[in-house]
Amino acid sequence: TLAARLLPLAGKPAITEDGTTIHLYGNIEFPYEVKECNASGADGIGLYRTEFLYLNAKTEPTEETHFEAYKKVLLAMAGKPVCIRTLDLGAEKLLEVPRPEDERNPVLGLRSIRLTLRNVPLFRTQLRAILRASALGKIRVMFPLITTLKELRQAKMLLTDVMEDLEEQNIDFDRNIEVGMMAEVPAAVIFLDRFVDEVDFISIGTNDLIQYVLAVDRSNKDVAHMYTASEPSVLRLLRSSIQTAIKSNTPVNICGQMSGNMLYTMLLLGFGLQQFSVPPASLLEIKKVICSVSIKQCQRIARRVMTKENAQEIRSYLKDELRKQVPELVP
Ligand code: PEP
Ligand code: MG
């Protein structure tokens, strides 16, 4: 099988044919998923979704519940970085949290960072556990759905506040913990040149970004076909975000599903992306593409794609190029 043929790549770094090292991280939700990340030679965890801690519980998770989950992942990753994303839930899923009224547009509503900033005790509990865990390994913390600078600053302020509490109580944590944000709301992406000054890294969430840029709800079957990463408007925004981050020396990765789709790997490399965070099952495929191409080729492909004006045409061009470069991946 293809998986078996890719297995030897697990122990090798992801380096392009012309010698650029690419960092490949795994996306996880449950601690047990680190196993597959390690087996595929991931450089770390680029997105640790923490929603499961809340969804599986009848009551709000305690600091200890958080801490134990993070500790498991950290120890399993043995010194490799783990990026923990703070709670990214919609109000409709968190029954314990009082909601003002029924939401007609939940994805435009009180979700994610908006929800946690309104529920400070709940947010502090998670931040405290993340900070405590940071004493045990290399942790990064990341805020989801940031829309304005004000929100980012509020979240960072809370983090600093929790740090001060820990300090007073003589509890160990990493004082230099890296703090990043998801770039997944068009407002933040458009204003990214100002956000990069206030974070240590950026992670582009294409799942939400595409839905907001195209104004398409993927779960609505009447419009779901319009939801695609290959829309030229989306690609233009991605290219400019990656370039904005690079210009300011801010590490940037893409953690949305798009980065685990090998159709887009060459294009994203051509945009200058050097870090991908992908579902564990896609790690080796993406590594295979990276090891089979040169950045120069990818830049040529990216230039070509950006002259096109239709999503379908872009996809079929990318598929042809992938078939040419890595025939074993395209049946
Ligand atoms: C995203 O929006 O691309 C993302 C990675 O976050 P989630 O899918 O958890 O919303
Ligand atoms: Mg998202």
Q: What is the tens place of the pLDDT at every residue in 173-211?
A: 999 999 999 999 999 999 999 999 999 999 999 999 999
> Cα 230 from chain centroid?
18
Whether the pLDDT of residue 63 is over 60: the answer is yes
Q: How far apart are CA 220 and CA 85, in angstroms?
A: 27
From the CA of 256, the nearest ligand is 1
Confidence bin at 3 (pLDDT 50/70/90): confident
Tell me if 208 CB under 6 Å of ligand 1: yes
The beta-carbon contacts of 184-190 under 8 Å, at least 24 apart in sequence, are: 184/144, 184/145, 184/208, 184/209, 184/212, 184/256, 185/145, 185/146, 185/147, 185/209, 185/212, 186/212, 186/213, 186/237, 187/147, 187/148, 188/146, 188/147, 188/148, 189/237, 189/241, 190/237
* Minimum CA distance residue for ligand 1 atom 8: 207
Per-chain residues with Cβ under 5 A from ion ligand 2? 184, 205, 208
Confidence bin at 171 (pLDDT 50/70/90): very high
pLDDT at site 100: 56
Whether the pLDDT of residue 247 is over 70: the answer is yes
Q: How far apart are CA 140 and CA 161, in angstroms?
A: 17
Task: Report percent pLDDT > 70 for the chain.
Answer: 96
From the CA of 255, the nearest ligand is 1
pLDDT at site 36: 97
Mean pLDDT in residue range 148-156: 98
Tell me if 206 CB under 6 Å of ligand 1: yes
* Minimum CA distance residue for ligand 1 atom 1: 205
* Minimum CA distance residue for ligand 1 atom 7: 207
Cα-based distances in Å from 167 to 68, 128, 131, 296: 21, 11, 11, 49
pLDDT at site 197: 98
For the ranges 27-31, 55-59, 256-260, the lowest mean pLDDT is seen at 55-59
Tell me if 273 CB under 6 Å of ligand 1: no
Q: What pTM does this model have?
A: 0.96
Mean pLDDT in residue range 280-285: 98
pLDDT tens readout for residues 78-125: 999 999 999 999 855 655 555 556 677 889 999 999 999 999 999 999
Whether the pLDDT of residue 296 is over 70: the answer is yes
Ligand 2 centre from 318 Cα, in Å? 25
208 CA: nearest ligand 1 atom: 2
Which one-letter amino acid corresponds to residue 135? A
Tell me if 184 CB under 6 Å of ligand 1: yes
pLDDT at site 230: 98
Q: How far apart are the first and last CA of the chain?
A: 12
pLDDT at site 97: 55
